[in-house]
Amino acid sequence: MTATRISPPTPQAIAEAAEMLRRGHIVALPTETVYGLGADARSDDAIARIYAAKGRPATNPLIVHVADTAAARRYVAVFPPAAQTLADAFWPGPLTLILPRAKSLSPRLSAGLATVAIRCPAHPVALDLLRTFDGPIAAPSANRSGFTSPTTAQHVYAELNARVPLILDGGPCAVGVESTVLDLTTATPAILRHGAITSAMLAPLIGPVLAPTPSVRPDTPAPSPGMLDRHYAPATPAFRFAKPQWPAAQNWIAQQPKVVLLTTDPALTPPPPHEAIVLPADAAACARVLYASLREADTREGSSLLVLMPDTSDGLWAAIADRLRRATVPLPPA
Ligand code: TXA
Ligand code: MG
């Protein structure tokens, strides 16, 4: 494939992107969460191109993006009252619903499942493209499988140069972590992936929601079903610890050539030659810069990265802790 072009989202570029989608090609687009790698969700060949460009295992299904609730209804077999309630409350927005799929979608995008993941994104460029294309766009995060998700057009370029012809540049993503994935096909709705729409926001509208609260203990595995354990990974070996382990972490740091520490607590910083990247203590602000900070940490030429885990899983911290857990392994015992 020829080199990748980054384009501002002019009406011309949107029309061109829609035409590429119609011809079965892939296009990278901004959403409010992270950048996506889009293709026509009805075309098996187009979906195959997404999996090839990402190097994604065929067993991991994709999310279908639609322009509105009416379009969502066309691509599911059932749209239950709870889905309508949640769509009214949170769409366009970072909430993905798992529902029984419609036959018109490519079987390949659901990895053989009878269900589909569907959401309406809250980004003007994504919505513009969806309306111009006038069809469903399947889009996983626009990164190589297993690595850090992109929150700028430049991140997409770094991941997928020469693997995608066109990136629509919609600026930095406002949310910064992927959408909440909510399964509505089970007796009790269940969160499969934490995001900006939290169980505390969902429960008042639809009743109890199962939400695997990620333990803040750094040594326990991630609990969410259907998710890869190792994910969002930086290139540098990355470790995690919880605040009570700081003394042990300091001993460990002292034995390393150069550690880059990511920390929400500016009081916990290592001496030179080690470095610290201080993350915002506010959850929304932290989520927004999380992936860019992991990428920045990778450029500091550390021998390893070390991440202080959040000491709460309230609200958006659950999503942040989940991503950090998958991006790291526990600090080796002393
Ligand atoms: O915010 C987001 O959701 C971004 C933007 C681009 O919209 N997209 C994204 O897609 O994060 P991706 O492919 O990286 O993550 C999709 C997640 C995966 O964890 C996948 O396992 C889950 O959704 N998923 C997709 N279809 C599913 C299904 N039918 N049942 C259960 N989980 C499903
Ligand atoms: Mg992803």
pLDDT tens, 215-261?
444 444 433 333 455 677 788 999 999 999 999 999 999 999 999 99
Residue type present at position 293: S
What sign results for the dihedral spanned by CA atoms 105, 111, 116, 117? negative
Probe target for ligand 1 pocket from 26, 50, 63, with the most ligand atoms within 8 Å of CB: 63
- Do residues 58 and 198 make contact, with C-beta atoms less than 8 angstroms apart? no
Which pLDDT score is estimated for 2?
76
Cβ of 193 less than 6 Å from ligand 1: yes
Q: List for the chain the helix, strand, coil content (%; round to 5).
A: 35, 20, 50
Cβ of 20 less than 6 Å from ligand 1: no
SS (H, E, C) 172-185: CCCCCCCCEEEECC
Cβ of 115 less than 6 Å from ligand 1: yes
User: Region 119-130: what's the mean pLDDT?
Assistant: 98
Check residue 232 and give left, alpha or beta (phi > 0: left; psi -120 to 50: alpha): left
pLDDT band, very low/low/confident/very high, at 213 (cuts 50, 70, 90): low
Which pLDDT score is estimated for 97?
98
Residue type present at position 323: R
pTM of the model: 0.94
Task: Say how far apart CA 287 and CA 56 lie, in whole Å.
Answer: 24
- Do residues 92 and 121 make contact, with C-beta atoms less than 8 angstroms apart? yes
From 223, 218, 189, select the one nearest 206 (Cα to Cα). Answer: 189
**Ligand 2 centroid – CA 141 distance (Å):** 4
From 178, 93, 95, select the one nearest 141 (Cα to Cα). Answer: 178
pLDDT band, very low/low/confident/very high, at 332 (cuts 50, 70, 90): confident
At which residue do the structure tokens 């996983």 appear? 140
Token pair belonging to 294: 């992991």
Task: Say how far apart CA 149 and CA 254 lie, in whole Å.
Answer: 31
Token pair belonging to 174: 């406002």
Task: Say how far apart CA 130 and CA 139 lie, in whole Å.
Answer: 12
pLDDT band, very low/low/confident/very high, at 79 (cuts 50, 70, 90): very high
How many of the other CB atoms lie within 10 Å of CB of 252? Answer: 19
Cβ of 181 less than 6 Å from ligand 1: yes
**181, β-bridge pairs:** 96, 193
Closest ligand 1 atom to 113 CA: 29
Cα angle: 174, vertex 177, 182; to 5 degrees: 115
Cβ of 31 less than 6 Å from ligand 1: yes
pLDDT at 82 over 80: yes
